[in-house]
Structure 1
Amino acid sequence: MDDDRLIRTLMHEYLSREGYEVVLAENCLEALSILEEASNEFKFLVTDWELPDGSGIDLIRHVRHVVCSHYMYIVMATSHGHRDNLTRALNAGADDFLAKPIDRGELIARMRAGQRILDLETRLTHLANSDLLTGLPTRRVFEELVSKEWGRARRYRRPLSCVLFDIDYFKRVNDIHGHAAGDQVLREVGRVFADSVRDSDIICRYGGEEFCALLPEATSEQAAIWAEKLRKRLSERDIILDSAVVNVTISMGIAESLAEMEDPEDLVEIADQCLLEAKGSGRNQVVCFNDLKQAAAESANRVDPIFGEAIAADAMTQVVSSVTPESSVIEVSQFFLTYRIPSAPVVNKDGLLVGVVSDKDLLAVASQPDPYSTTIDQVMRRNPICYPPDIPLRVVWEFLNRVSIRSLFISQNGKTLGIISRQSILRWLANSVWKKSAPVEGGGVGPVSTPQRIETAARLLADASRKLSDDVDQFSEDDHAAMVIGSVSQMQELLNELLASVGEGGGAMHLDSILESYEA
């Protein structure tokens, strides 16, 4: 970059003869436009000090701190050869200094010196970012790239899947054939893994005999097809060691980005739970999140000593309010503020659950130039986690206990019946289990009086109902909806307390009443 046309022509001629591909710019604005559009394509920047619209010093600082994600070798070319100027240029981020008028031999020598430094930097970066054994990216690099891909998938509402797998009974390979043979197996598995992914996929050796892949633009169904092909390919492959030929199999867990996930760690965590299920149910298989839920339901046929025959409907809280995909961000924001709620399910015109939106989702787009034109369909989180109302409560408890997700939906035939969270299950335990063994007067433990629990809950429910009735005249017509929703949320908790107090059979009555109410 130089504002002198003759110097640009000479530099282009000198460097082109040496095999460099050269792009010219005559001012800061043009240079920044070129760099921001394709900064990864450039390894060198040669810039003049004084420019019509700025200085080379400012440009260097901007390139170092804003533009480039990789290391670019920067040469400052100027007639200001004073020592102080040299110091300023180097402190700003320049790597070398080239005096004007430009001497061809000196220019080429400095460029070759820069190339040696870039080659060394490339080798060091590769060593730092690659697993020494398999050559795959390290877990640290993987996590950095995953954060960027996670943000892109959330921003553009694209599917994103994670596949986590490890080698079955890998310890046996080390025990029987030695650790050198184990290293050969890891290298071969890593090579097959790398050959099986797309250029857009992010892969790594996650640790030990465990590997991980992030598949952008892939649903869990598509990821499962890919994973099954990889599993078969490895299971049918003979790995030739120095003293033997071995076959290995892999177990694989798959998770897709779900509405309740807050960060990429949640996605990897669910994939890890699916991997544990694959290993626990026989190994050499692929388990997706839906398979994980099904396996948990099938294992819950026995009566649990703590949860008994309790089902999810016993602990859930009914959904009071929902929003539609067509609503604008501003409308739903005002709805949240008025009714003092942090999130709501999103249902379509047929009443089917299609997503969930929270105040955090709204906050991310509420400051856009025209938020009225932004609909909830553009910001909501899809793929909400759903369980049927009659699934054993223990299954939901096990899931929430194993992952960082805090709540999920209870639905039937695609329609939302309620929400169940960790707090919901704690409340159910407090009402149905803990109180039965609460300390009694004189020491020891004993059951709490059921009539007393019912009386307390009923009294509080009556008080809440009376307060709602008394407050009707104190609010304007526009405030009635907010007042009712706030009161009903409180009364729901008390109704759950009453239903939990009636003992066995209460859950079934609760579910029947919910379904009848929903149909009505």
Structure 2
Amino acid sequence: MSARPFSILIVSADRTLLRRMSKFLDIFGYEVRQASDEAQTLASAEANPPDFLLVDGSTESLANKQLCRQVRRLGAQQVFTYCMLLVELPEVAALTESLEAGFDDFLARDVVYGELLARLRAGARVLEYERRLAEQNGLDVITGLAERNAWLKQWKPWLQASAAEKARATPPYVAVLDFDSFGRFARVQGLIAYRELLRGAAQSIKKALPATALPGVLHDNRLAILFAAHDDAAAESLASGWLKSLQATSLQANGTSVQVTASLGFTAVQTDEPADIALQRAITALQLAKVSGRNCVVHSDEVDEDQQSWTELASEGQLFATTVARDVMIPCPVLIGADETVDQGLALFDQTQLATLPVVDLEGRLLGLITATKLANVRSQGSRPRQASVRLVRHVMQTEFAKFDETTSLNEMMEHFAESEQDVAVVVRDRCPTGLVFCQGLAALNERLNVTAFQPTSIAEGSEYLLVPEIYSSDTE
């Protein structure tokens, strides 16, 4: 996974300065945001606290030096923001006041771009120092649980202590838990509320754990838990209880009650097994829990069972073994009578925008197939433009074509089209047409469908634009 770029929030009422610095910093890979006043600055920082804050000190509306502290306070539980002030006249008193307000560095407002890059590198070292300092503390600043490295350091000691209690005969397990669709809270409620919810949800899980369990944060909203249980069934029961406890907890976001659920995967830890191997099994089980609809518990053994079950289901011909003609046909709600005239047939095709229609007798029994192209050709060859055609559809319809029963298997239909030059067949029931099956239509079932598959190449006015045809068509001439 690629590393996250540093984020920089530039604050100035000078829009030319904003544009130029943004373009320059973007070239060097920084994630740049802009604000022209204090309100925009605080809103942007609340949405996503920046790594760097660059404030134009010459802007009168930004003369309040408390802006640095306000932004840093918003990000206090997630990132340390390195604050830089752009100054025109570096007077000692003003610089001292700015330092006391929390600014870390200064730059001439007439920016020297090489110096800016050098100062940012120096600031990045300070940010790394702050990160390491927080890491040494051993606690995740948002959840209050052990952060990843601190948790992993306790892996072996915890397992050794658990093994020493042989009298209880409780094997160790590790669980990995994700809060379901949790990112939505940051988008809807804001980053501050997101952190409060994450802390509340994590603490809710911690309270539900046995006293001997060891919880920690792997990253973001993913927790890891070492715990003991008598067997797999007992471990699953414990984990299910944690999720029920979380779901029953009423958490608050901006004064609104919010319900949070979680998905969990767990596995038994083998003797002397490295943490990363056991964690990977638990993470794989967690992924299966997510694709199972979330808010559930999955044991790592279920992963192999699920894969074996799918392999058997997806073996050659099995997935579509029960698919028959009526499942994939295009229904025929519109039919054309054999005694309709060519002009009447053309009018029907024009009204429905269909390409092919079954031809039936007065009792609705199948007699043939006709296409719009065929009728149009007959009309242009046989009559003057203003003279009505007296030829009937039965005179020009196609009578040689394939017919499938509604229960004809998909495999049979595919074999037919592979051996035949015809690309359409009629599905019949009691000699009456119920649908059409196109060779291209069956082939299209194997193609990946995307949102642009049926989009037209141009926009048009009128009701015809609202007709969405299939992406294949057939002319059975």
TM-score by length of 2: 0.35
TM-score by length of 1: 0.33
Higher helix residue share: 1
